[in-house]
Amino acid sequence: MLKRATFAVIAVFIAWSILDFLIHGVLLQPTYEATANLWRPKDEMNMPLMSFVTLVFTICFVAIYGLLVEQKSLVSGIKFGVLFGLAMGISMGFGSYSYMPIPLSLAWSWFLGNWIKALTAGAIVGTIMRS
Protein backbone atom coordinates (compact mmCIF):
# COMPACT_ATOMS: atom_id res chain seq x y z
CA MET A 1 0.00 0.00 0.00
CA LEU A 2 2.93 2.38 0.68
CA LYS A 3 4.07 2.00 -2.92
CA ARG A 4 0.60 2.90 -4.22
CA ALA A 5 0.34 5.84 -1.81
CA THR A 6 3.72 7.16 -2.93
CA PHE A 7 2.71 6.86 -6.57
CA ALA A 8 -0.59 8.60 -5.76
CA VAL A 9 1.26 11.48 -4.05
CA ILE A 10 3.48 11.92 -7.11
CA ALA A 11 0.54 11.75 -9.53
CA VAL A 12 -1.63 14.18 -7.54
CA PHE A 13 1.28 16.60 -7.06
CA ILE A 14 1.91 16.65 -10.81
CA ALA A 15 -1.81 17.04 -11.59
CA TRP A 16 -2.21 19.86 -9.07
CA SER A 17 0.91 21.62 -10.38
CA ILE A 18 -0.44 21.48 -13.94
CA LEU A 19 -3.91 22.63 -12.86
CA ASP A 20 -2.42 25.46 -10.76
CA PHE A 21 -0.46 26.64 -13.78
CA LEU A 22 -3.55 26.55 -16.01
CA ILE A 23 -5.88 28.13 -13.44
CA HIS A 24 -3.59 30.75 -11.92
CA GLY A 25 -0.94 31.19 -14.59
CA VAL A 26 -3.26 31.32 -17.59
CA LEU A 27 -6.99 31.67 -16.85
CA LEU A 28 -6.80 34.04 -13.87
CA GLN A 29 -3.75 36.01 -15.02
CA PRO A 30 -5.82 39.00 -16.26
CA THR A 31 -7.65 39.13 -12.90
CA TYR A 32 -4.38 39.03 -10.98
CA GLU A 33 -2.95 41.80 -13.17
CA ALA A 34 -6.06 43.94 -12.57
CA THR A 35 -5.67 43.49 -8.80
CA ALA A 36 -1.86 43.72 -8.72
CA ASN A 37 -1.95 45.91 -5.61
CA LEU A 38 -3.09 42.84 -3.60
CA TRP A 39 -0.19 40.53 -4.52
CA ARG A 40 3.54 40.38 -4.08
CA PRO A 41 5.55 41.29 -7.17
CA LYS A 42 6.61 38.19 -9.12
CA ASP A 43 10.24 38.57 -8.07
CA GLU A 44 9.18 38.45 -4.39
CA MET A 45 7.03 35.31 -4.72
CA ASN A 46 8.51 32.23 -3.08
CA MET A 47 7.84 29.44 -5.57
CA PRO A 48 9.92 26.79 -3.73
CA LEU A 49 7.78 27.41 -0.64
CA MET A 50 4.62 27.16 -2.76
CA SER A 51 5.81 23.81 -4.15
CA PHE A 52 6.55 22.60 -0.62
CA VAL A 53 3.07 23.67 0.54
CA THR A 54 1.51 21.83 -2.41
CA LEU A 55 3.54 18.71 -1.63
CA VAL A 56 2.54 18.68 2.04
CA PHE A 57 -1.11 19.29 1.11
CA THR A 58 -0.89 16.45 -1.42
CA ILE A 59 0.56 14.07 1.17
CA CYS A 60 -2.24 14.97 3.59
CA PHE A 61 -4.92 14.47 0.91
CA VAL A 62 -3.58 11.03 -0.01
CA ALA A 63 -3.05 10.05 3.66
CA ILE A 64 -6.59 11.03 4.66
CA TYR A 65 -7.98 9.00 1.76
CA GLY A 66 -5.70 6.04 2.49
CA LEU A 67 -6.35 5.96 6.23
CA LEU A 68 -10.03 6.89 6.42
CA VAL A 69 -11.72 5.61 3.27
CA GLU A 70 -12.60 1.96 3.78
CA GLN A 71 -13.67 0.88 0.29
CA LYS A 72 -11.07 2.26 -2.11
CA SER A 73 -12.29 2.63 -5.69
CA LEU A 74 -12.65 5.21 -8.42
CA VAL A 75 -16.17 6.01 -7.20
CA SER A 76 -14.99 6.39 -3.59
CA GLY A 77 -12.13 8.59 -4.73
CA ILE A 78 -14.47 10.83 -6.70
CA LYS A 79 -16.88 11.11 -3.75
CA PHE A 80 -13.97 11.95 -1.47
CA GLY A 81 -12.67 14.52 -3.96
CA VAL A 82 -16.10 16.15 -4.34
CA LEU A 83 -16.54 16.55 -0.58
CA PHE A 84 -12.94 17.57 0.08
CA GLY A 85 -13.09 20.01 -2.83
CA LEU A 86 -16.25 21.59 -1.50
CA ALA A 87 -14.53 22.28 1.83
CA MET A 88 -11.30 23.41 0.17
CA GLY A 89 -13.08 25.60 -2.38
CA ILE A 90 -15.40 27.28 0.10
CA SER A 91 -12.56 28.10 2.49
CA MET A 92 -10.15 29.27 -0.22
CA GLY A 93 -12.64 31.14 -2.37
CA PHE A 94 -15.26 32.61 -0.09
CA GLY A 95 -13.24 32.47 3.11
CA SER A 96 -10.64 34.67 1.42
CA TYR A 97 -13.36 36.90 -0.04
CA SER A 98 -14.70 37.53 3.46
CA TYR A 99 -11.51 39.35 4.53
CA MET A 100 -9.63 40.26 1.34
CA PRO A 101 -10.76 42.90 -1.13
CA ILE A 102 -10.80 40.46 -4.06
CA PRO A 103 -13.48 40.53 -6.75
CA LEU A 104 -16.37 38.11 -6.28
CA SER A 105 -15.45 36.57 -9.62
CA LEU A 106 -12.05 35.62 -8.18
CA ALA A 107 -13.70 34.03 -5.14
CA TRP A 108 -15.86 31.93 -7.48
CA SER A 109 -12.81 31.06 -9.59
CA TRP A 110 -10.85 29.93 -6.53
CA PHE A 111 -13.84 27.92 -5.35
CA LEU A 112 -14.34 26.17 -8.69
CA GLY A 113 -10.61 25.73 -9.30
CA ASN A 114 -10.06 24.07 -5.94
CA TRP A 115 -13.14 21.92 -6.36
CA ILE A 116 -11.86 20.72 -9.76
CA LYS A 117 -8.40 20.08 -8.31
CA ALA A 118 -9.82 17.97 -5.46
CA LEU A 119 -12.16 16.08 -7.79
CA THR A 120 -9.20 15.31 -10.07
CA ALA A 121 -7.08 14.23 -7.10
CA GLY A 122 -9.92 12.04 -5.81
CA ALA A 123 -10.16 10.28 -9.16
CA ILE A 124 -6.38 9.76 -9.17
CA VAL A 125 -6.17 8.32 -5.63
CA GLY A 126 -9.30 6.23 -6.19
CA THR A 127 -7.76 4.70 -9.29
CA ILE A 128 -4.25 4.17 -7.92
CA MET A 129 -5.16 3.03 -4.40
CA ARG A 130 -8.18 0.87 -5.22
CA SER A 131 -8.74 -2.21 -3.10
| Spans of the chain, pLDDT less than 50 | none
According to the model, what pLDDT value does residue 72 have? Answer: 97
What is the count of structural domains for the chain?
1
What are the tens digits of pLDDT across the range 84-96?
Answer: 999 999 999 999 9
Q: Is the pTM of this model over 0.95?
A: no
Burial of 113 by CB count in 10 Å (0-12 exposed, 13-18 middle, 19+ buried)?
A: buried
Domain that holds residue 84: 2-38+45-128
Neighbours of 116 (CB within 10 A): 16
Chain centroid to CA 70:
23
According to the model, what pLDDT value does residue 131 have? Answer: 82
Neighbours of 52 (CB within 10 A): 11
